[in-house]
Amino acid sequence: MRPWIEKQRYLIDYTLAALARRKARNLGLLAVYALLVFMLASVSLFGQALRQEAAAVLADSPEVILQRLVAGRHDLIPPGYLEKIGRIRGVQHQQGRLWGYYYDPVSKANYTLLVPAAEAPAPGHLRLGATLARERGLQAGQPLSLRSYGGKLFTFTVDEVLPASSELISADLVLLGEADFRAFFDYPAGHYTDIALSVANPQEVRNVAAKLSAALPDARPILREEMRRTYASLLDWREGIALALLAAALLAFAILAWEKASGLSADERREIGILKAIGWETGDVLRMKLWEGLLISFSAFLLGLVGAYVHVFHFGARLFEPVLKGWAVLYPRFTLVPQLDGLQLFTLFFFTVVPYTAAVLVPIWRAAIIDPDAAMRG
């Protein structure tokens, strides 16, 4: 075992010396290669981190949300629905929710107005998300005027700006009392936007949803698992858009790998011929060039991955943020929790390191099997 290790060490030493002789070419190749890995890894790491954030946000969401449909559109929940749901076996708790969207012409953004389930603000008061407050330049104690869709002007006092730690889910959020909400949107008494349900047995969520659909044909139950899959699909779609934008870089990398596989330069062929003439075997030449491909590709992979990690988790993925976060006016500020998935890293490694390393061996094998004298004469 020790002689084999010593032989590999000598091969690596020679490979490093050979790379140093073509320093400018190899450094340029390394820079382009690392930049490609950096872009691909940034998209992959950012998408995975957003999936984890979405899963954490939805972990505390209701198990079932019940909406009423009229002509295929979301409509208000009329009085009597809560009583009907309470008679369905398996439903542990049900609560009508009040929420809606409001377009603010001042900031040219949509706000989400919501009546919290507990600790609602007093009449004439509200609480704001940090992003919204920053956009409007508001602080606790200051007034906020909103004109309803009916044309009436409402003035509220800001009780509190929600903590920045919750900015991911409260960026555009406005919390207000039930009376203010109904007056602002002219909501009829006893009506709700939708109903949040909890199920006694988590294993029976789908059965309860089926019972709800049978008892209330005009209702649409939305499961928490379905919301998770929807967010995951949305992020996959946005990640696909970002990768499509990188198609030119992927094409350039494919051309680079093909160029490596198509042939060697005259200097490289002459070098192989000299090595064969002084006693190197074909296997030694292949191992030396394999080490060369591994050193370049692995170094580029590490540089690109470390750069992507810093870019995503320390600088917020500024290059790909608008594509993967979505298109909006109010962008929340939040720090992503570092997430490294083993399968994700292996996939990235396989599709960036393996093709280049394999492409190196093809022309080397062709040159190594010819006569040394012919190789040295070109």
DSSP string, 51-76: HHHHHHHHTTS-SEEEEEEETTEEEP
Fill in the DSSP letter of residue 329.
S
- Give the count of alpha carbons within 13 A of 51, CB side only: 19
Identity of the amino acid at 141: G
Helix (H, G, I), strand (E, B) or coil at 180: helix
The pLDDT assigned to 39 comes to 85
Contact (Cβ atoms closer than 8 angstroms) between residue 178 and residue 124? no
CA distance 33 to 36: 5
**Core vs surface per residue 268-294: b (16+ CB within 10 A) or e:** bbbbbbebbeeebeeebbbbbbbbbbb
The pLDDT assigned to 305 comes to 93
Block means of pLDDT (10 residues each) for the chain, length 378 residues?
68 72 78 86 83 78 88 87 81 89 87 89 92 88 90 92 80 92 92 90 86 87 86 74 68 65 60 68 72 82 92 81 62 72 84 75 64 57
The pLDDT assigned to 153 comes to 92
The domains of the chain are located at 2-58+233-377, 64-222
Please report which helix (H) or strand (E) contains residue 286, including its range: helix 282-313
Candidates 2.40.50.140, 3.50.50.60, 3.40.190.10, 2.40.40.20; CATH matching 64-222: 2.40.40.20
Which residue bears the tokens 């928490």? 224
The pLDDT assigned to 213 comes to 86
Full-model pTM: 0.69
Fill in the DSSP letter of residue 107.
T
Contacts of 235 (CB under 8 A, 6+ apart): 47, 50, 51, 54, 324
